[in-house]
Amino acid sequence: MTTCNIAVIAGDGIGKEVMPEGLKVVQAAAEKFGLSLNFHNFDWGGCDYYLEHNRMMPENWKDIVGDMDAIYFGAVGWPDTVPDHISLWGSILTFRREFDQYINMRPVRTFEGVKCALSTPKADEIDFIVVRENTEGEYSSIGGIMYEGTDREVVLQQSVFSRHGTNRVLKYAFETAMRRAAKNLTVATKSNGMAISMPWWDSRAEAVAQDYPEISWTKQHIDILSARFVMNPERFDVVVASNLFGDILSDLGPACTGTIGLAPSANLNPERKFPSLFEPVHGSAPDIYGKNIANPIGMIWSGALMLSFLTQDSGAGASAHDAIVTAIEKTLKGATLTPDLGGEASTQTMGDAILANL
Ligand code: NAI
Ligand code: MG
């Protein structure tokens, strides 16, 4: 049995509270299915480290975690002490870019026992995946400010779309759709407004689609697509989007199902040249930190995605993933609910219940 090495970075705020719950469920599921995991805890990547060292991570962070099989990450950000653009760019965004985690995969679904935020008739049938481009697009560091502070002030921030970067995220989305029953893909666009990059993005989608005749796909402008997430969420299967559009859709989707406290994400380097990173969608939630009420499900479900990824989405890791998701389903159905779900369970009570159901 080979041992997988996992870097554990809890980070800031509720990241520190939900991480122990994630670890205990992931460890138990791994044992149950014969996966050997070796966890390596790191106390950097968060704002406390920054206050002491004036940087978010040690200089040799790449040497430390570069050979790990995966990174299990809580949350980063503590705006009272470190501005968000410094803490996030120095930590989570550095991992995504330097480890070429070009896919941000975010499953969205409803659970029995969780009150859906939507009252549309088919809201209980939400089950889709958002595939977000994670390394380029609108989130670029190219640009600048001229004549700052004067009437002539000019601000430019370039979007960056490469053929390499766009083709690979589209291909990944079509491949993901191929593995699903509905075999349907929605491509987010805005070719009516962003008249250079988005018609080009659409043409890449058309080119990549040639290799996937089994997939039914449509392109939809981001504005109406967002509206349909609310009005007809059951119609979506796989949705692929640029960095900015995907960021917004992947908060909107889980919010429609009830709470972002449930939502998991995988930052993937599919070629496995670098470690992939698994984290809940939510942030450090300063407003509830220290109260022991954070919902640990986003963290736990992200751990399930990690186990599946470790064994190429088949075999022991896939079984461990499915067992964790089933345990989450049972727990929610059994009405163990944290306050964001309308209950009174603490972070640990929720973690323990999922562990027991596993
Ligand atoms: P947030 O996701 O931390 O919180 C948004 C709202 O959702 C808050 O009211 C919070 O209490 C609630 N919430 C979040 N997770 C929850 C959970 N597990 N259980 C129950 N309620 C939960 O987003 P916000 O407030 O915009 O950002 C706070 C900090 O986190 C900022 O520094 C931000 O930059 C950072 N952040 C970091 C992310 C990451 O590490 N990938 C992602 C998003 C934000
Ligand atoms: Mg976001």
Q: What is the DSSP string of 123-158?
A: GGG-EEEEEEE-SSBT--S-EEEESTTSTT-EEEE-
Residue identifier of the C-alpha nearest atom 37 of ligand 1: 283
Q: Assess whether pLDDT exceeds 90 at residue 119.
A: no
Distance 31 CA to ligand 2 centre (A): 33
Q: Assess whether pLDDT exceeds 80 at residue 251.
A: yes
Residue identifier of the C-alpha nearest atom 23 of ligand 1: 283
* Bridging pattern class, strands 3-11 and 36-42: parallel
Percent of the chain residues past pLDDT 70, beyond the cut? 100
Q: The tokens of 271 are what?
A: 């070629």
- Which CATH superfamily is 1-101+275-358 part of? Isopropylmalate Dehydrogenase (3.40.718.10)
Distance 295 CA to ligand 2 centre (A): 17
The structural architecture, per CATH, of the domain 116-257 is: 3-Layer(aba) Sandwich (3.40)
Q: Assess whether pLDDT exceeds 80 at residue 121.
A: no
| Neighbouring residues of 303: CB distance < 8 A, sequence distance ≥ 6 | 22, 23, 25, 26, 29, 72, 278, 324
Instruction: List where CATH 3.40.718.10 sits in the chain.
Output: 1-101+275-358, 116-257
Q: Rounded mean pLDDT of 60-85?
A: 97
| Phi, psi angle pair for 74, to nearest 5° | -80, -85
pLDDT band at 259 (very low <50, low <70, confident <90, very high): confident
- What pLDDT, on a 0 to 100 scale, did the predictor assign at position 117? 85
Q: Assess whether pLDDT exceeds 90 at residue 267.
A: yes
Q: Is the CB of 84 under 6 A from ligand 1?
A: yes
pLDDT band at 108 (very low <50, low <70, confident <90, very high): very high
Q: Is the CB of 83 under 6 A from ligand 1?
A: no
Distance 240 CA to ligand 1 centre (A): 23
For ligand 2, an ion, list residues with CB under 5 A. 247
Q: Assess whether pLDDT exceeds 90 at residue 106.
A: yes
Residue identifier of the C-alpha nearest atom 38 of ligand 1: 283
Which whole-number Å values give the CA distances from 346 to 19, 275, 337, in the listed order?
14, 32, 8
Closest CA to 332 of 304, 308, 298, 307: 298
pTM: 0.95
Closest CA to 65 of 92, 95, 93: 95
Q: Is the CB of 77 under 6 A from ligand 1?
A: yes
Are 300 and 326 in contact, with CB atoms under 8 Å apart? no
Q: Is the CB of 126 under 6 A from ligand 1?
A: no
Q: The tokens of 247 are what?
A: 């960021």
Query: Which of 16, 82, 284, 332 has the most ligand 1 atoms within 8 A of CB, as the residue to mutate?
Result: 284
Q: Assess whether pLDDT exceeds 90 at residue 141.
A: no
pLDDT band at 105 (very low <50, low <70, confident <90, very high): very high
Q: Is the CB of 264 under 6 A from ligand 1?
A: no
Q: Assess whether pLDDT exceeds 70 at residue 1.
A: no
Closest CA to 220 of 184, 254, 259: 184
Ligand lying nearest the CA atom of residue 83: 1
pLDDT in tens, 144-167: 999 999 999 999 999 999 999 999
CA distance 8 to 71: 6
Q: Rounded mean pLDDT of 69-88?
A: 97
